[in-house]
């Protein structure tokens, strides 16, 4: 679409994110939440909504919801009333979902996102509420009947509803990245959109810039990756603008995104939308969050990405790029932070973690917890390089690979074993330098005639002679002095 | 065999070797068979009850028997009992067996109660005559052309006709008290939350309570003592300690008693019931209790707010009966929509469907505030006013029912009339306070009349003690 036309409009986007909580048991029963069990094995009379059964609240789910609220700067609701959302669907065993309607556990928060130009923007959170998941309907190919798996029914969710503060798909993407980062830092959700543990619906509308009233919003569903959320929003914005430009009116509706075509198509119009008949859940007493409870959660809160980012940039003086990469996941950030407890060469620590450590993990598809080296071992390598005992190349090419294979070894011992302790004794080095210069009289003459680039060749020869153990910095310095004095 | 009126009488005869549990079960089984036409039981656990009787007899001999040894009871078809059918007298739960036992039932079993069968009731406890049961009405033993009341009709008849010593029923808006009044037995509904609802099929969750139908106050007190108390499976169940009700039945206190003036002046009240009430008031005064008329300004709002709130909750509670997971599924279903529609159309009876539709309507977006929200507010007012009166008076007394037992089919032409018959019982349900109906006399046709007594929440001990006073000093033969 013509950029000029696009620029006339202001898209307004709000996101609803469902995060499946990593509790051991379901929201209202003791049934396990284990993923990947055989269908209909993680169930009980309560999950199936058998007559006479009642819900029992899982306090761990509440803990997790509060954590997310604190991480997003929300107010925590002290008296919570659960509600029933009524609708018929085969995978909804009770015919209603237990959720929160008028008293969401967290309200009025915000999440800071980073824009492409490096600016920060706050996306406000309207509410975060707790609810239970439904089961899964399965339509098997070639079968006329639909099968239902209730393993997921009753698994706790939080729904995070943003204000319509998002103005384009890049911001939506950045917001989702931040939400995912937070739930993973808090260890309350694995944040996997492909597997459905994180789900996102987008409310999209457009209005002429400067207009004082939002356009009619359309809800877009069925996106199974961050990228698809972005594509769906881009398409929906263009579709709505095209309609308005053609003089058409936008109807309030729910549209589904098709990842194959990149298009959205109508699913339900507003008239046919469910009337969920919310009312207070009489089977649960009001949930009161005491000061003690809230204090306990406060004490359990880990450092959050933006806090670590601030620490890494301000305290450790790292470049923003490094801080971003290092805080991408909690595990890497914590590992780096621990390395920094054993060294003050923060930039070197950052280079090591972003470089060799991450590459090693990526190559072998390992989690940080499976990384064989202790943070102190990385710090030791750094200290060996800093004190010129080994050179950087030897450290990355030889010591590091040796250590990950023999993690019980100390870096210094490894350097000795591999004969990599470098020659930084001036007298010894001078001897090697002299030897090289004597062996290459022609080159020395050329150098003196102005071909200064030959320094590299001399260095190479010295390295050859010392089998790479010559400390390059000192050697270079001594070589330069020698050449000058010739 | 003689007719026993309380577990105490039974235990005396057991202890003196006059009777055994097996004799008792055989006796009740014979009565059930002989009075089959009353249709009180949907299922009789013949072999199982006899076997259990032998076990309990052995325990009694060994001196290890529980507090309810010797008590043979029936349970209303709304209480879950593991591996036993559970249907709420509805076709929609045809073939359904419970996977677990209700907390209250388990507590009774743990004290060696013997369960002889599953009792008929109104479908999903919705009704006041037992006529909405998919398995036909239970009949009043006094006159088989009359209803036994409902919804715990079968449970009341079973005690009335000596088909068990006691019945466990449920009371949402009078479902234990009203049939007790019609059948000349004691019907008791505890404070809301006093007994765990885990395993009680939900009709209207914020009203439902398990209650008892007995021949004696003592048995009602003992059964409550056993069933009441906190339960990890029902977070709404009260954590308050349970009093030894059965040990606190004696009192010579002079009480302050209020009666709601308008209830005795209401047009729909049977004059003979009015006379009986006035007689009770006179005799209470003669016993030096203080009895005063009080005003209750919300009488006209009681029934409408009750029906709005209970049908709203019911419409949600009954959504689970959809043919997907258990119970009846229409064989005529062709797709998902028709499975829902046909299963529920064929599986539910008329009264249940009516209440589901009414409840769905009052919760719908356009009418929510006009009905549901308003009814909730009215409920709060009724609760507050009732509590206020109960701060001033130890008890409120009122008739249990405006009429004595009415004929079968008598209200078919006037569906609202049967709702209005709940006017005296739903106040305690809306307020959540405990209430009891005790037999207090008969009309000219010999039909029983019940006196209803309400008291403060969790003061069941006082309620039982006063009921005994009524029983012993107020009712004149």
Q: State which residue of chain A sits closest to B320, comparing Cα positions.
A: A94
Beta strands A120-132 and A253-258: pairing type?
unpaired
Q: Give the range among A67-81, A254-268, A471-485, B331-345 with minimum mean pLDDT.
A: A471-485
What letters, b where the CB count within 10 A reaches 16 and e where it falls short, cover A289-305? Answer: beeebeeebeeeeebbb
**The total number of residues written for chain A in this structure:** 486
DSSP state of A103: S
Mean pLDDT, range B410-415, rounded to an integer: 74
Put simply, whether B225 touches A (Cβ < 8 Å) is: no
Q: Which residues of B touch A88 (CB under 8 A)?
A: 319, 322, 340
Q: Which element (helix H / strand E) includes B8?
A: helix B7-15
pLDDT for A468 beyond 80 = no
- List the structure tokens of B475: 């009712």
pTM of the model: 0.90
Q: Where in chain A is the domain with CATH 1.10.10.410?
A: 426-485
Put simply, whether B469 touches A (Cβ < 8 Å) is: no
- List the structure tokens of A242: 């095209």
> Distance between CA atoms of B222 and B214, rounded to whole angstroms?
11
Q: Which residues of A touch B363 (CB under 8 A)?
A: 86, 277, 279
Q: Which residues of A touch B315 (CB under 8 A)?
A: 86, 277
- Top pLDDT among A68 and A3 is at A68
Q: Is B253 a known active-site residue?
A: no
pLDDT tens per residue, range B22-39: 999 999 999 999 999 999
Residues B228, B108, single domain; the answer is yes
Mean pLDDT, range A112-121, rounded to an integer: 88
Mean pLDDT, range A16-36, rounded to an integer: 94
Mean pLDDT in chain A?
Answer: 91
Residue among A50, A90, A282 whose CB faces B205 most closely: A282
Q: Kindly state the percentage of chain B with pLDDT values over 70.
A: 99
Q: Which residues of A touch B78 (CB under 8 A)?
A: 52
Contact state of B232 with A94 under an 8 Å Cβ cutoff: no
Q: Is the distance from CB of A233 to CB of A220 less than 8 angstroms?
A: yes
Angle at B100 between CA B97 and CA B104, to 5 degrees: 115
Q: How confident is the model at residue B382, as a pLDDT? A: 97
Q: Kindly state the percentage of chain B with pLDDT values over 90.
A: 93
Contact state of A86 with B363 under an 8 Å Cβ cutoff: yes
Contact state of A279 with B316 under an 8 Å Cβ cutoff: yes
Q: Which residues of A touch B86 (CB under 8 A)?
A: 51-52
pLDDT for B477 beyond 60 = no
Residues B15, B85, single domain; the answer is yes
> Distance between CA atoms of B434 and A241, rounded to whole angstroms?
64
Does residue B202 sit within a domain?
yes
Q: State which residue of chain B sits closest to A287, comparing Cα positions.
A: B235
Reduced to 3 DSSP states, what percent helix, strand and coil does chain A have, rounded to the nearest 5?
Answer: 40, 20, 40
Domain end position, chosen among B347, B365, B383: B365
Residues B50, B194, single domain; the answer is yes
Q: Which residues of B touch A275 (CB under 8 A)?
A: 364-365
pLDDT tens per residue, range A229-269: 999 999 999 999 999 999 999 989 999 999 899 899 888 77
Count of the separate structural domains present in chain B: 2
Residues B222, B354, single domain; the answer is no
Contact state of A52 with B79 under an 8 Å Cβ cutoff: yes
Mean pLDDT, range B433-449, rounded to an integer: 97
Put simply, whether B86 touches A (Cβ < 8 Å) is: yes
Contact state of B235 with A54 under an 8 Å Cβ cutoff: yes
Contact state of B86 with A51 under an 8 Å Cβ cutoff: yes
Q: Which residues of B touch A96 (CB under 8 A)?
A: 316, 319
Neighbours of B134 (CB within 10 A): 21
Catalytic annotation, pick one of B6, B90, B167, B175 = B175
pLDDT tens per residue, range B309-359: 999 999 999 999 999 999 999 999 999 999 999 999 999 999 999 999 999
In this prediction, residue A270 has a pLDDT band, given cuts at 50, 70 and 90, of low
Reduced to 3 DSSP states, what percent helix, strand and coil does chain B have, rounded to the nearest 5?
Answer: 45, 15, 40
Does residue B232 sit within a domain?
yes
Mean pLDDT, range B371-385, rounded to an integer: 97
Q: Give the range among A150-154, A208-212, A395-399, B433-437 with minimum mean pLDDT.
A: A395-399
Beta bridge partners of A111: A123
> Distance between CA atoms of B37 and B138, rounded to whole angstroms?
8
Q: Is the distance from CB of B37 to CB of B247 less than 8 angstroms?
A: no
- Whole-angstrom CA distances from B381 to B302, B368, B377, B430 are 10, 19, 6, 10
Q: Which of B83, B89, B100, B235 to mutate to test the interface with A (most CBs of A within 10 A)?
A: B235
- Whole-angstrom CA distances from B430 to A304, B188, B245 are 49, 16, 24
Torsion, Cα of B188, B381, A57, A41 (10° steps): 60
pLDDT tens per residue, range A119-140: 889 999 999 999 999 999 988 8
Does residue B158 sit within a domain?
yes
In this prediction, residue A162 has a pLDDT band, given cuts at 50, 70 and 90, of very high
Catalytic annotation, pick one of B151, B155, B170, B206 = B151
Contact state of A86 with B205 under an 8 Å Cβ cutoff: no
In this prediction, residue A467 has a pLDDT band, given cuts at 50, 70 and 90, of confident
B208 φψ region: left (φ > 0), alpha (ψ -120 to 50), beta (else): beta
- List the structure tokens of B249: 């039945």
Helices (H), A423-471: 426-439, 441-448, 455-465
Does residue B297 sit within a domain?
no
pLDDT tens per residue, range B109-166: 999 999 999 999 999 999 999 999 999 999 999 999 999 999 999 999 999 999 999 9
Nearest CA to B32 out of B120, B155, B163, B135 is that of: B163
Q: Which residues of B touch A48 (CB under 8 A)?
A: 325-326
Compute chain A's Rg from CA coordinates: 30
- List the structure tokens of B19: 């009777």
Contact state of B319 with A54 under an 8 Å Cβ cutoff: no
The shortest C-alpha distance from B329 to chain A (Å) reads: 13
Nearest CA to B106 out of B200, B191, B176, B214 is that of: B200
Longest CA–CA separation in chain B, Å: 71
Put simply, whether B234 touches A (Cβ < 8 Å) is: yes
- Whole-angstrom CA distances from B383 to A200, A387, B362, B451 are 44, 81, 21, 21
Q: Which residues of B touch A285 (CB under 8 A)?
A: 235-236
Compute chain B's Rg from CA coordinates: 21
Q: State which residue of chain B sits closest to A147, comparing Cα positions.
A: B324
Put simply, whether B64 touches A (Cβ < 8 Å) is: no
Q: Looking at residue B86, which CATH number applies to its domain?
A: 3.90.1300.10
Q: How confident is the model at residue B410, as a pLDDT? A: 80
Half-sphere exposure of A428 (CA within 13 A, CB side): 10
Residues B338, B242, single domain; the answer is no
The distance of Cα A31 from the centroid of its chain, to the nearest Å, equals 29
Contact state of A45 with B372 under an 8 Å Cβ cutoff: no
- List the structure tokens of B248: 């606190």
Residues B235, B315, single domain; the answer is no
Q: Which residues of B touch A56 (CB under 8 A)?
A: 232-233, 235
Q: Is the distance from CB of B170 to CB of B152 less than 8 angstroms?
A: yes
Q: How many CB pairs under 8 A join A and B?
A: 98
Does residue B110 sit within a domain?
yes
Residue among A86, A93, A277 whose CB faces B325 most closely: A93
Contact state of A277 with B102 under an 8 Å Cβ cutoff: no
Q: State which residue of chain A sits closest to B360, comparing Cα positions.
A: A277
> Distance between CA atoms of B264 and B261, rounded to whole angstroms?
6
Q: State which residue of chain A sits closest to B373, comparing Cα positions.
A: A279
Nearest CA to B130 out of B303, B317, B448, B351 is that of: B351
Q: Which of B106, B199, B316 to mutate to test the interface with A (most CBs of A within 10 A)?
A: B316
Q: Is B175 a known active-site residue?
A: yes
- List the structure tokens of B391: 């701060």
Contacts of B248 (CB under 8 A, 6+ apart): B221, B461, B464, B465
Contact state of B316 with A96 under an 8 Å Cβ cutoff: yes
Put simply, whether B372 touches A (Cβ < 8 Å) is: yes
A13 φψ region: left (φ > 0), alpha (ψ -120 to 50), beta (else): beta
- List the structure tokens of A475: 């050697």
The SS3 assignment for A146 reads: strand
Does residue B415 sit within a domain?
no
Q: How confident is the model at residue B476, as a pLDDT? A: 60
Beta strands B114-119 and B41-44: pairing type?
antiparallel
Q: Which residues of B touch A94 (CB under 8 A)?
A: 319-320
In this prediction, residue B422 has a pLDDT band, given cuts at 50, 70 and 90, of confident
Contact state of B235 with A57 under an 8 Å Cβ cutoff: yes
Does residue B43 sit within a domain?
yes
pLDDT tens per residue, range A328-349: 889 999 999 999 999 999 998 9
Residues B216, B319, single domain; the answer is no
Does residue B382 sit within a domain?
no
Mean pLDDT in chain B?
Answer: 96
Torsion, Cα of A240, A241, A243, A244 (10° steps): 120
Residues B227, B310, single domain; the answer is no
Beta strands B209-214 and B166-171: pairing type?
antiparallel
Residues B204, B308, single domain; the answer is no
Residues B87, B207, single domain; the answer is yes
Domain end position, chosen among B365, B381, B400: B365
Contact state of B232 with A56 under an 8 Å Cβ cutoff: yes
Q: State which residue of chain A sits closest to B234, comparing Cα positions.
A: A54
> Distance between CA atoms of A31 and A17, rounded to whole angstroms?
25
Beta bridge partners of A202: A15, A220
Give the fold, CATH level 3, of A426-485: Arc Repressor Mutant, subunit A (1.10.10)
Contacts of B286 (CB under 8 A, 6+ apart): none
Cis peptide before A256 (omega within 30 of 0): no
Q: Is B76 a known active-site residue?
A: yes
Residue among B78, B320, B372 whose CB faces A95 most closely: B320
Domain interval for residue B355:
304-365
Domain end position, chosen among B337, B365, B393: B365
Q: Which of A51, A95, A97, A282 to mutate to test the interface with B (most CBs of B within 10 A)?
A: A51
pLDDT tens per residue, range A179-204: 999 999 999 999 999 888 999 999 99
Contact state of B319 with A284 under an 8 Å Cβ cutoff: no
> Distance between CA atoms of A236 and A239, rounded to whole angstroms?
5
Task: List, edge to edge, every strand of the sheet that includes A106-114.
Answer: A75-76, A106-114, A120-132, A156-162, A9-20, A198-208, A218-223, A253-258, A263-269
Q: State which residue of chain A sits closest to B367, comparing Cα positions.
A: A277
> Distance between CA atoms of B206 and B130, rounded to whole angstroms?
22
């Amino acid at each position: 679409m013509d950029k000029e036309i696009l620029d006339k409009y202001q898209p307004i986007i709000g996101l609803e994110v469902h995060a499946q909580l990593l509790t051991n048991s379901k929201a209202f029963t003791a049934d396990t939440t284990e993923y990947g069990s055989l269908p209909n094995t993680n169930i009980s009379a309560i999950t199936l909504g058998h007559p006479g059964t009642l819900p029992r609240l899982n306090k761990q789910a509440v803990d997790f919801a509060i954590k997310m609220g604190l991480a997003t700067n929300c107010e925590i609701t002290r008296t919570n009333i659960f509600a029933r959302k009524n609708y018929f669907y085969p995978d909804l065993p009770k015919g209603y979902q237990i959720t929160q309607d008028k008293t969401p556990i967290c309200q009025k928060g915000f999440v800071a996102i980073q824009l492409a130009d490096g600016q920060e923007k706050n996306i406000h959170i309207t509410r975060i509420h707790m609810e239970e998941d439904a089961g899964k309907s399965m339509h098997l190919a070639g079968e006329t009947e639909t099968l239902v798996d209730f393993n997921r029914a009753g698994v706790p969710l939080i729904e995070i509803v943003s204000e319509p503060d998002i103005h384009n798909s890049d911001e939506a993407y950045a917001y989702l990245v931040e939400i995912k980062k937070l739930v993973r830092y808090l260890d309350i959700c694995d944040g996997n959109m492909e597997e459905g543990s994180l789900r996102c619906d987008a409310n999209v509308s457009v209005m002429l810039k400067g207009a004082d009233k939002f356009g009619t919003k359309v809800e877009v569903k069925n996106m199974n990756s961050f990228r698809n959320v972005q594509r769906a929003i881009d398409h929906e914005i263009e579709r709505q603008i095209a309609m308005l430009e053609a003089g058409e009116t936008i109807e309030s509706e729910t549209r589904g995104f098709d990842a194959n075509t990149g298009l959205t198509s109508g699913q339900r119009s507003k008239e046919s939308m469910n009337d969920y008949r919310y009312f207070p859940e009489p089977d649960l007493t009001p949930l009161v969050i005491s000061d003690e409870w809230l204090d306990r959660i406060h004490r359990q809160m880990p450092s959050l990405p933006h806090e670590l980012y601030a620490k890494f940039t301000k305290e450790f003086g790292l470049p923003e790029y490094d801080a971003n990469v290092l805080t991408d996941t909690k595990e890497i950030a914590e590992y780096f932070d621990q390395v920094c407890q054993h060294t003050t060469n923060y930039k070197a620590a950052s280079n090591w973690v972003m470089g060799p450590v991450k590459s090693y993990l990526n190559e072998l598809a390992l989690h940080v917890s499976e990384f064989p080296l202790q943070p102190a071992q990385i710090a030791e390598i750094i200290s060996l390089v800093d004190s010129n005992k080994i050179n950087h190349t030897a450290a990355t090419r030889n010591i590091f690979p040796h250590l990950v294979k023999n993690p019980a070894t100390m870096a210094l011992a490894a350097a000795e074993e591999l004969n990599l302790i470098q020659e930084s004794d001036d007298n010894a080095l001078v001897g090697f330098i002299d030897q090289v210069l004597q062996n290459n009289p022609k080159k020395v003459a050329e150098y003196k005639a102005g071909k200064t680039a030959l320094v590299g060749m001399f260095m190479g020869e010295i390295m050859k002679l010392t089998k790479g153990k010559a400390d390059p910095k000192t050697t270079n310095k001594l070589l330069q002095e020698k050449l000058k004095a010739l | 065999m003689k007719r026993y009126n309380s577990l105490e009488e039974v235990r005396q005869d057991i202890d003196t070797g006059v009777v055994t549990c097996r004799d008792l079960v055989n006796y009740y089984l014979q009565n059930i068979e002989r009075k089959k036409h009353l249709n009180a039981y949907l299922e009789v656990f013949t072999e199982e009850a006899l076997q259990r009787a032998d076990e309990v007899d052995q325990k009694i001999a060994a001196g290890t028997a529980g507090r309810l040894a010797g008590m043979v009871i029936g349970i209303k078809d709304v209480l879950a009992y593991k591996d036993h059918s559970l249907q709420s007298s509805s076709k929609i739960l045809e073939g359904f067996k419970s996977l677990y036992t209700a907390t209250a039932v388990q507590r009774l079993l743990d004290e060696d109660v013997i369960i002889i069968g599953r009792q008929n009731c109104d479908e999903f406890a919705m009704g006041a005559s037992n006529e909405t049961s998919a398995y036909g009405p239970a009949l009043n033993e006094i006159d088989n052309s009359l209803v036994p009341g409902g919804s715990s009709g079968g449970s009341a008849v079973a005690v009335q006709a000596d088909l068990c010593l006691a019945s466990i029923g449920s009371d949402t808006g009078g479902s234990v008290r009203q049939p007790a009044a019609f059948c000349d037995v004691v019907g008791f509904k505890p404070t809301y939350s006093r007994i765990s609802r885990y395993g009680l099929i939900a009709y209207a969750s914020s009203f439902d309570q398990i209650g008892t139908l007995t021949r004696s106050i003592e048995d009602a007190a003992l059964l409550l003592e056993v069933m009441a108390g906190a339960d990890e499976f029902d977070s709404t169940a009260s954590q308050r300690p349970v009093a030894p009700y059965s040990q606190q039945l004696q009192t010579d206190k002079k009480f302050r008693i209020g009666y709601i003036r308008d209830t005795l002046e209401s047009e729909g009240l049977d004059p003979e019931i009015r006379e009986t009430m006035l007689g009770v008031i006179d005799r209470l005064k003669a016993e030096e209790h203080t009895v005063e008329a009080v005003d209750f300004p919300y009488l006209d709002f009681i029934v409408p707010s009750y029906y709005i709130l209970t049908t709203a909750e019911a419409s949600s509670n009954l959504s689970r009966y959809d043919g997907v997971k258990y119970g009846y599924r229409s064989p005529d279903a062709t797709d998902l929509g028709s499975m829902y529609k046909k299963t529920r159309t064929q599986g539910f009876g008329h009264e249940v469907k009516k209440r589901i539709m009414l409840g769905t309507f009052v919760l719908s977006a356009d009418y929510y505030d006009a009905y549901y929200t308003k009814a909730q507010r009215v409920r709060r007012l009724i609760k507050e006013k009732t509590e206020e009166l109960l701060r001033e008076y130890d008890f409120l007394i009122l008739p249990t029912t405006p009429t004595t037992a009415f004929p079968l089919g008598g209200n078919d032409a006037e569906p609202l009339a049967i709702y209005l018959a709940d006017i005296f019982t739903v106040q305690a349900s809306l307020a959540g306070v405990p209430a009891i109906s005790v037999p207090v006399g008969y009309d000219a046709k010999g039909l029983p009349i019940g006196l209803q007594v309400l008291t403060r929440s969790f003061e069941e001990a006082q309620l039982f003690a006063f009921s005994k006073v009524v029983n012993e000093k107020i009712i004149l033969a």
